[in-house]
Amino acid sequence: MEFDEVVKKRYSVRKYDPRPVEDWKIERILEAGRLAPTGKNSQCQRVYVLRSPEALDKIRANCSMTFDAPLVLLVFAKKDEAWVSRFTSRNIAETDTSIVTDHMMLAAVNLGLGTCWVGYFDPVPICDSLGIPNGLTLMHVLPVGYPAEDSEPYPMHFERKDLSETVTFL
Ligand SMILES: Cc1cc2nc3c(=O)[nH]c(=O)nc-3n(C[C@H](O)[C@H](O)[C@H](O)COP(=O)(O)O)c2cc1C
């Protein structure tokens, strides 16, 4: 797919077909995340791939917004590895992991899959149930799968501000 087509085709998929995502597609998605830029090349992201029935049961029980997707990627930050701005003291882990997640999201769309970026979750029960090691902060949840036949974008998908409201040329 052309890049513009990928960007235009993407929408938040909230209804999935149960068929599993092929391993080679999972690898391509993970590779897109691996190649994402990160502050000072820290690569502070850690990605957990949930695809076993046991892992999927746990995430579904502890996160109401995985929409029964057959694959869920959890993107964590190892914050102590992330670059910290000397000017603002800001730890850049959230930015790094967002770029990684967006790369994976667009790679999935390019492979004919759907995704939905999920920020609505309580990390504690998710991490406890999956035995996530200390030192990792759950930043983003990304359900992935083939959109259900009757999946459609929510109305919000079509609501975008005009460029004149968000862009300033000087
Ligand atoms: C940081 C972030 C967090 C989000 N969290 C959720 C979420 O918890 N649940 C959900 O259904 N959608 C979530 N979304 C999806 C947005 O609601 C969606 O991207 C927006 O409404 C535009 O619709 P579209 O993605 O279909 O174009 C999130 C998106 C982003 C970027």
What CA–CA distance (Å, rounded) separates 100 from 87? Answer: 24
Q: What does CATH list as the number for 3-166?
A: 3.40.109.10
Closest CA to ligand 1's atom 21: 156
Check residue 147 and give its pLDDT: 98
Model confidence over 36-60: pLDDT tens digits?
999 999 999 999 999 999 999 999 9
Check residue 149 and give its pLDDT: 98
Model confidence over 98-136: pLDDT tens digits?
999 999 999 999 999 999 999 999 999 999 999 999 999
pLDDT band at 86; cut points 50, 70, 90 = very high
pTM: 0.98
130 lines ligand 1 (CB under 6 A): no
Write the CA distances from 150 to 13, 14, 16, 155, integer angstroms. Answer: 11, 10, 9, 15
What are the domain boundaries of the chain? 3-166
116 lines ligand 1 (CB under 6 A): yes
What average pLDDT score do residues 132-153 get?
A: 98
What CA–CA distance (Å, rounded) separates 82 from 88? Answer: 14
Check residue 54 and give its pLDDT: 98
DSSP 123-155: HHHHHHHHTPPTT-EEEEEEEEEPBPTT----G
133 lines ligand 1 (CB under 6 A): no
Which region, left, alpha or beta, applies to residue 78 given φ > 0 means left and ψ of -120 to 50 means alpha? beta
Q: Are strands 45-50 and 137-145 parallel, antiparallel or unpaired?
A: unpaired
What CA–CA distance (Å, rounded) separates 27 from 24? Answer: 5
Check residue 124 and give its pLDDT: 98
Residue 58 is encoded by which pair of tokens?
């746990």
